[in-house]
Amino acid sequence: MLIVTGDCLSSGHEFLDPRIFGADWKKLLDQSPREFGNYRVKKIKELYIDPDPKYQKKSEWVKMIFAQKKIMELELPYSWPIQLGKKLNIEVINLADEGANFLQQIQKFENFLSVKSPDVKVVIHQIPGHWRVSIKGDEHDHFRMKLVGPNILDLDTFASRVKNIFNKPVGEQHLMSKYKKYLKQPEFFNNLIKQGLKKNKELEKKYNFKTYYILTQHITKQCLTDEIILHDDLKPFAQSNFLCGTDCPVVDEYVDYMINLVSPVIDKSFV
């Protein structure tokens, strides 16, 4: 068995968008990622959730949650890990999530191992964006943990800074203020990556598998020592070489590239 963890670069995120939106797709990309993301989920809700009788009595908010789950379910078969499994005729478990940081993925991976106790031979961790962290929201977000990355800084405007002087930051402003504090700590994000690497080494010894790494951003490489790296700057490379949506490649050529990248080490391990 092969297990893959990662973020949108491995989950199939956005891959179906050109098919879903057709001729309107490129026009929609002119919106901000946040606007397009909201529109995208609403479209999925209209196509798959609203017509289904079992959701008729659900609130619009609940329907949107089911729509998010639905599009992830539809995209997963098109992700490169699943396509790799089909090509090599091996069992692949793809644990990648659209929005995730490395520690979250390691925790999800550990939970999967403890519950399923699989006979896993190889693990590929596609380490998500270096600057991502989970932050506890305020009452506006029902005190839930929220994944926050550099995009939150789009809200750091002159008007918001003035407002936050006289008012307690709430909602996304609360998350942004917390995130800015973490950015002032030089080793904070490095330490999150190192924690994940340490935990994986413990899991390697316990479950006897071999690990390979794909780095979303080159800066993460400074946190690794003797780990085997298959690619050390995937996101900039993908965005420079393949047709992308707001964030991720949406063409078969990217899937083929990833399959060709990882196949040699997989073939050796499964002989």
Domain assignments of the chain as residue spans, ordered by start: 2-130+187-270, 133-183
Tokens of 245: 């949506």
Cα–Cα distance, 98 to 180 (Å, whole number):
23
User: Which superfamily, per CATH, for 2-130+187-270?
Assistant: SGNH hydrolase (3.40.50.1110)
H or E segment and range at residue 178: helix 172-183
Residue 142 pLDDT level (bands cut at 50, 70, 90): low
- E strand residue ranges, the chain: 2-5, 92-94, 122-127, 133-136, 145-148, 210-215, 229-231
The CA-atom distances, in angstroms, between 108 and each of 100, 116, 241 are 10, 12, 31
How many CB atoms are located within 10 Å of the residue 10 CB?
29
Q: What is the pLDDT of residues 187-231, one digit of tens each?
A: 999 999 999 999 999 999 999 999 999 999 999 999 999 999 999
Half-sphere exposure of 56 (CA within 13 A, CB side): 4
Q: What is the pLDDT of residues 98-135, one digit of tens each?
A: 878 899 899 999 999 999 888 899 999 999 999 888 88
Give the per-residue pLDDT at 143: 65
Question: Is the pTM here over 0.85, yes or no?
Answer: yes
Q: What is the pLDDT of residues 54-66, one digit of tens each?
A: 998 899 989 999 9
